[in-house]
Structure 1
Amino acid sequence: MTNPKHARGEHYLTTPKAEPFLERLIFNNRVTILVLFAVLTAFLGYNAVKIQPDASFERMIPLEHPYIVNMLEYRDDLENLGNFVRIAVATKDGSDIFTEEYMETLRQITDEVFYLSGVDRSGLKSLWTPNVRWVEVTEQGFQGGTIIPDNYDGSSAESLEQLRQNVLRSSEVGRLISDNFRSTIVYAPLYENDPQTGEPLNYAAFSRELEEKIRDKYQAQNPNVSIHIVGFAKKVGDLIEGIGAIAWFAGITIALTTLLLFWYSRCIAGTLVPVLTSIVAVFWQLGALKILGYGLDPYSVLVPFLVFAIGISHGVQLVNAMAVEAARGFDPLNAARLAFRGLYIPGMLALISDAFGFLTLLFIDIDVIKDLAIAAGLGVAIVIITNLVLHPLLMSYIGITAGGIRQVQKQGEETDRKWRRLSAFASPKAAPISVLIALLGLGVGVYLKQDLKVGDLDQGAPELRADSRYNTDNAFIIDNYSTSADVLVVMVKTPVEQCTQYTVLRAMDTLQWELQNTPGVQSTVSLADVSKVVTKALNEGNWNWYAISRNQTIINASIRDAPSGLINTDCSLTPTLVFLEDHKAETLKTVVNAVEVFAANNSNEDHTFLLAAGNAGVEAATNDVIAKAKDWMLVFVYGVVSLLCFATFRSWRAVLCIVVPLGLTSVLAEAIMALSGIGIKVATLPVIALGVGIGVDYGIYIYSKLEKFLLEGKSLQEAYFETLRSTGKAVIFTGITLGLGVVTWIFSPIKFQADMGLLLFFMFIWNMIGSIWLLPALAHFLLKPEQMREKARFASAKS
């Protein structure tokens, strides 16, 4: 074996220019830098443990979209903004709601909900609230009152019968009262911010209150009652609750990665130091987010996983390079310096590409995705520091153990034969076959991804499992109520005091007729319905009078007692409520297109149809923003990655070798989404950018080594063989380890984490395969080794 000192001396004497300034700065100040790292880790770690789950209705919607602008402008005039909870109180033994015991339980639940923090008490609705009334026409005219009569005592048969009659005379059957009269709903609109304190609604705490003070308490108090709760706040609360499960998966990922890393390196230091520095990066990221005022919403909570994965990915490369240098006889310090010297340029390029890949999510005009982009970009910036500075500095003191050195030295002829076989991917015989297979795969992927939809593809909350508590509750309400929880609100804007004019009501009635004949629409409600029903009632119930009168006096009389939710105070806005069968992507697209066409043809100076409020309106706006931004995001991420690769390697051929395999992976990933029934939405869109950003690392490491050996005069296949010997094992191991780490997510109770796990598993593995298999095949057709060497000699002579 070469004498270490001689080897070191010869190396440094013959290549003094190879020692870059950055290397000298870091390794000549090791103690100072490590002390600084320790102080920063303690400070940021302290802040990291204080970070809290965070969610906001407005941060999850595209505030600049015209639909949302309209909704927020008229939010004070609307009751169906989408941020509400519906609490269904049902009997379990098949009895109806007209019993003293049931009504008393409903009264107590209504009172309990009234005092929950965050509830807009003025809009609370239940059979027990005074804003839920019945109306009928008699010989003396209209009469009505609250559904619960003033003389209700609950104990007498007469009182309960009166209650039944009031319910039947109301318009709430199918809305607040189930079609089979076995359950009723407590409807509670929510404030986004507490009107007294101004603090945002704490969705996690609110969800816990619903479980503890409503569901658990009253189901235990009355065994004959079952309670079902749906609404945005409850869905987000359940997602935040699932963060506890995410912590378990984080532990599993760390443990699995540690075991695989030890199996790969056979070095305790080479195992623990990359894991430690990656965990430090996560703590730095969380601490920095806390200082900057960010929390962890249900979507960005997975970003620390990715930061850890990226840290491990680059850490493996350093451990591998140090083990090779240690096997050549260098001591820990110089092995670390040489490993740093060989990796810091491709490492920084890969990490900067990762960061820009994440930052492209800023194109999506939804705050929760922007927050995710910032969190991920910040995390990658920190990984640059921890993996390219902290990791080599720690290893410069500890070094590769004897077991790790033996692991490298025993890679003899058998291993070389494996790499020799794989190097055939760069041969003239195999390269055309590989490119042909890639083209066929591209064609299949493009064909299959045509079925990819933007938006939700399932009923209920697709972020949660179909058998989750929330989706079970949602299924109960869908099955028992004729008005859906998915409401699209079309706003009709008029001059002040003109919303009840005949032309306005007639246009609304025409829109309703068209929508009721549109697939996906369950029913519609508007002021026009009220006018027609009352006009009919005033004419002895004759259906011939079920129409909008041309006589304005009759119209004014017919809407005198219209519900407040169907007309605002100055009669300048009246909504049309469209109840949908679901909020699937196709349903929303069909209905919204129908409304937009109608609005374009029927809006004038007397009335303007505006989209859209309601939870379905929010979903439609979100889908529209994602659909428009998705392609621009991909163009930008590939553009940035290509520019960075070109700036580093100064060759468009190199860019194609690195980027083309990524493009194939993106197409195939979208095909898998289409086949798996996964739509592009807030939860899954980031995966597309993340997969590109992380996947480029493999190609950069492979190409940088390949170029190095080509410039040394080796043929393409021989250069690729040497590339595989030096870094191939690390790339393959990284891809498999990261893939196995995220594939465990498919068992998560949170559906979107399971979807992300499946997609990231495919992208990690396939990007690795692309860099090992397709990159050398492309290099066979694109790279010109002689020209590369001539260009390098010219550049060297010029410098």
Structure 2
Amino acid sequence: MKTTHEEAPVIANLSQFDSRSGSLLERLLFNHRPWLMLACLLLTVFFVAQLPHLTLNASFQRMIPQDHPFVINFEANQDSLAGQGNVVRVVVENTQGSILDKDYLQTLQKISDEVYLLAGVNRPYMKSLWTPTMRWHGITESGLDEGQVIDSRYDGSADSLEQLRLNIERSGEIGSIVAGDFKSSMLLVPLLDIDTETGAPLNYGVFGAKLEDIRAKYQNEHILLHIVGFAKVVGDLIEGLAQVLVFFAVAILIAGLVVFAYTRCLRSTLLVLFCSLIAVIWLLGSLPLLGYELDPYTVLVPFLVFAIGMSHGAQKMNGILQDIGRGTHRLIAARYTFRRLFMAGLMALACDAVGFAVLLLIKIEVIRQLSLTASLGVAFLIFTNLILLPILLSYIGVGRHAAARSLRSEQAQLEETVRPALWRWLDLFTRRKVAAPTLLVALALGVGGFMVSLQLKIGDLDPGAPELRTDSRYNQDSTYITASYGSSSDVFIVMVSSAPQQCMNYALLERIDRLEWRLRQQPGVVATDSFAAFIKVMTSQLTEGNPKWISLLPNQAVINNLVKYAPQSLVNQNCDLSMLRIFLRDHKAETLQALVAEVQAFAAVNDQGDERFLMAAGSAGIEAATNSVVQKANREMLLWVYGAVILLCFLVFRSWRAVACAILPLVLTSVLAEALMVWLDIGVKVATLPVIALGVGIGIDYALYVLSILLLHLRSGESLSLAYYRSLLFTGRVVLLTGATLAIGVATWVFSPIKFQADMGILLAFMFLWNMLGALVLLPALASFLLKPEGQPQADLRPDTTSQPHAGRTTTKKTTPNPQRTLEKPL
């Protein structure tokens, strides 16, 4: 075969090799190997020393979009909303009676005192039956009066218990702090973002563990504790980290065993694992230096870095294994492999980095942290897997038997007329009579997947904590609280602003009352509470509870007299902000969307001057803001990811046809992944949004490796069938190996007790498999219509004894194209 490419003969003796050959970068790296290894060793020691400083934690502030109008309103009025943001609810249930029991109340007092003293609790705003913030209001013999629900006169006697019942009924907290059936009561525990003892950020893992200690201390056959809130969700996720790490270890073990089964070379398999893990160690060690913590929602990043490293490392190992098998010295084999695959690997990692970096567009701190740490991990992979791994293999080499086995396998596959069944099946997709129906099926899948993906919802689709299993203790506790209390843990707060000392204006209260009535008609609303409702209740008490007076009296003097009795959870001290609290059945996306739309429509008509209806505070209000940001970012993020990946691919291949062959399979995977999320009832939210973008960045790796070798041989005049076959032998089989291996590894996550990890395992396994199939099936099918060989094509899949795809055959005349030069020539 006529060729214009550089010869790369088999060289067994280093003295016959020109160390000045190759690119400047290659000479710089391989001619100074000891110094480079020493630098990597020092970096590894340095980063290992930082690992003890790494902490696993989360932050409520990092989970919310700081630039969203809802959050800006919340932050601006946070002093008036203390105790209504990041809240933990602890419900203490009497399983054998009511709360009007001396022993129950004594236990409740001990629990209340211990929770009150926990570091991070915003103590002035904590509320329970035993705190001074729990007050009653009513008409007594001396007139309008108020007091603490459990005061200094309580002694546990029958009379004091009866007085307690009366005080609870007059407090207006039935359904809020006390269950309607009087079988349980709640501790409302607002949190700060800092540890009040140390001043450091609040450690939710430690806080959650302390709550569990309290539960274990006081829970028995008579007393049950139910605990919900953001801090408890994070605490449970951190507690389950040990199990998450077990599944990560299983995935790593599976990857190592499958690679070893393929190579039968222990040393090279361990080197691939070692270099991939070194990148993870560098990443984890750099986080404390950057002031970052490892978040339960970003704990997936180290495994993704490892998975990407395994994919690239296996490609380098495969190339060196084949060259050494032909008799090439291990150092020269390492340099040959570096020449062939460095540019493809660099561009693949650049696409990975772009997939991560685009997440910076999403203005939610936890996602931005994920973006930065993952991009940093990919940058480390350039050193550990594209540079350090070939250099280490240039010293250690591969096992003699493994190299000989690889050579025999390659010779047999190249020289035998009958090819392996899998290779013959994959070759069918290079022929238009098979490629055409394949592309039609792919198009049908894409259209069908797109129609299904239109039903993809934003936010949580399940009540409770979707990150945890339905039967988890947390979600069981959430179900109990929602069933027993009108004031669920999902609270949406509308802030009503006014001029100072004008919150009691009758016209404003009348509008609040009308909005409250409209919101109570929403199917997801359990109960509401507002300053206007408080005034109505107090007015009825002044009229001996006559039902016809349970309304807003158009008497400003009466209203002014009642303001001083209003609780701080409904109106601030300056009387320029009052709160309308809406307690929801759940925080599903459709529930929040309907609520937001109703408030927006009302505010558009009823905002007047300083009197405005502002959204939103409360856990559900913040969730609505987050959903809004995620919904906007979802499509924008994909457009930016694909735009960047297309640009990088075009810079590498200089051909729109080649770019189409690489990108279109990725598009199909993205569409089908979204359809899978619909089928599995997984919403797009902070935890799942990054995975969609990451699938594009990681998936392009497979296409780049296959397409780079395919184009190299097409440009040397080989037919598509033969060029594709050679790419299968060199990079394609490793794509098949790593895609299947990583898919199997992450598929084991489906058994994780953490539902978030199980969902991610399903999505990642699907993406690994479909991106692999796209590179091996759809790419050649597209190439059959878009790509053509240059020069005189060779016969399809016939033995070729005059040229091989790689450097040096000892039995034939061998020429090896230089991919770095060849890929610069457009089709």
Could you state the TM-score of these two structures normalised by the residue count of structure 2? 0.92
Counterpart secondary structure, 1:400: coil
1:334 alignment counterpart:
332
C-alpha separation in 2, matches of 1:571 and 1:177: 28
C-alpha separation in 2, matches of 1:679 and 1:125: 34
1:183 alignment counterpart:
184
Q: Give how far 1:540 is off.
A: 3.2
Count, aligned residues: 788
1:102 alignment counterpart:
104
Comparing 129-138 with 284-293, greater Cα deviation is found at 129-138
1:87 alignment counterpart:
90
Counterpart secondary structure, 1:185: strand
1:193 alignment counterpart:
194
C-alpha separation in 2, matches of 1:386 and 1:105: 58
Aligned residues of 1:530 and 1:558 also touching (Cα < 8 A): no
Q: Does 1:557 align with 2:561?
A: yes
The one of 730, 741, 748 aligned to 2:745 = 741
Aligned residues of 1:423 and 1:724 also touching (Cα < 8 A): no
Alignment of 1:496-511 (within 5 A): 496-511=500-515
Amino acid at match of 2:186: I
Counterpart secondary structure, 2:146: strand
1:204 alignment counterpart:
205
Aligned residues of 1:71 and 1:81 also touching (Cα < 8 A): no
C-alpha separation in 2, matches of 1:597 and 1:367: 30
Q: Does 1:8 align with 2:6?
A: no
The one of 123, 126, 129 aligned to 1:124 = 126
Q: Give how far 1:196 is off.
A: 6.3
1:572 alignment counterpart:
576
Across the aligned residues of Structure 1 and Structure 2, the Cα RMSD in angstroms comes to 2.3
The one of 433, 440, 443 aligned to 2:437 = 433
Identity %: 48
Aligned residues of 2:714 and 2:789 also touching (Cα < 8 A): yes
Q: Give how far 1:736 is off.
A: 0.3
C-alpha separation in 1, matches of 2:824 and 2:382: 29
C-alpha separation in 2, matches of 1:190 and 1:629: 29
Comparing 198-207 with 78-87, greater Cα deviation is found at 78-87
Q: Give how far 1:744 is off.
A: 1.2
The one of 375, 378, 384 aligned to 1:377 = 375
C-alpha separation in 1, matches of 2:779 and 2:147: 76
1:26 alignment counterpart:
29
The one of 451, 454, 468 aligned to 2:455 = 451
1:322 alignment counterpart:
320
Considering fraction of residues, name the structure with more helix. Answer: 1
Q: Does 1:43 align with 2:46?
A: yes
Amino acid at match of 1:731: V
1:687 alignment counterpart:
691
Alignment of 1:596-675 (within 5 A): 596-675=600-679
Alignment of 1:192-341 (within 5 A): 192-194=193-195, 197-212=198-213, 214-219=214-219, 223-341=221-339
Aligned residues of 2:205 and 2:238 also touching (Cα < 8 A): yes
1:718 alignment counterpart:
722
Q: Give how far 1:164 is off.
A: 2.1
1:65 alignment counterpart:
68
Counterpart secondary structure, 1:570: coil
1:142 alignment counterpart:
144
Q: Give how far 1:415 is off.
A: 4.9
Q: Give how far 1:13 is off.
A: 9.1
Note the alpha carbon deviations across 1:390-416, whole angstroms, 9 max, x for none.
Answer: 100111111121232233134224655
2:159 alignment counterpart:
158
Amino acid at match of 1:109: I
Amino acid at match of 1:125: K
C-alpha separation in 1, matches of 2:823 and 2:540: 91
Amino acid at match of 2:188: Y
| Cα distance change, pair 779–120 in 1 and its aligned pair in 2 (3 A) | same
Q: Does 1:732 align with 2:733?
A: no
Note the alpha carbon deviations across 1:247-269, whole angstroms, 9 max, x for none.
Answer: 21222122111111100111112
Amino acid at match of 1:98: L
Q: Give how far 1:432 is off.
A: 0.7
The one of 694, 699, 705 aligned to 2:703 = 699
Aligned residues of 2:423 and 2:725 also touching (Cα < 8 A): yes
Comparing 347-356 with 472-481, greater Cα deviation is found at 472-481
Counterpart secondary structure, 2:180: coil
Comparing 235-244 with 186-195, greater Cα deviation is found at 186-195
Note the alpha carbon deviations across 1:359-405, whole angstroms, 9 max, x for none.
Answer: 11111110000000011100000011100111001111111212322
C-alpha separation in 2, matches of 1:704 and 1:190: 55
Amino acid at match of 2:204: Y
1:77 alignment counterpart:
80
Aligned residues of 1:520 and 1:582 also touching (Cα < 8 A): yes
Counterpart secondary structure, 2:201: coil
C-alpha separation in 2, matches of 1:768 and 1:761: 11
The one of 548, 552, 556 aligned to 2:552 = 548
The one of 482, 487, 490 aligned to 1:486 = 490
The one of 52, 55, 59 aligned to 1:56 = 59
Q: Does 1:678 align with 2:678?
A: no
Note the alpha carbon deviations across 1:319-378, whole angstroms, 9 max, x for none.
Answer: 111111112210211111111111001000000110111111111110000000011100
| Cα distance change, pair 428–674 in 1 and its aligned pair in 2 (3 A) | same
Aligned residues of 1:519 and 1:590 also touching (Cα < 8 A): no
| Cα distance change, pair 232–41 in 1 and its aligned pair in 2 (3 A) | same
C-alpha separation in 2, matches of 1:631 and 1:718: 39
1:173 alignment counterpart:
174
Q: Give how far 1:139 is off.
A: 5.8
| Cα distance change, pair 5–662 in 1 and its aligned pair in 2 (3 A) | closer
Amino acid at match of 1:630: N
C-alpha separation in 1, matches of 2:725 and 2:822: 27
Counterpart secondary structure, 1:7: coil
| Cα distance change, pair 551–29 in 1 and its aligned pair in 2 (3 A) | same
Amino acid at match of 1:342: R
Amino acid at match of 2:158: A
Q: Give how far 1:793 is off.
A: 11
| Cα distance change, pair 788–237 in 1 and its aligned pair in 2 (3 A) | farther
Aligned residues of 1:711 and 1:788 also touching (Cα < 8 A): no
Could you state the TM-score of these two structures normalised by the residue count of structure 1? 0.95
Comparing 132-141 with 119-128, greater Cα deviation is found at 132-141
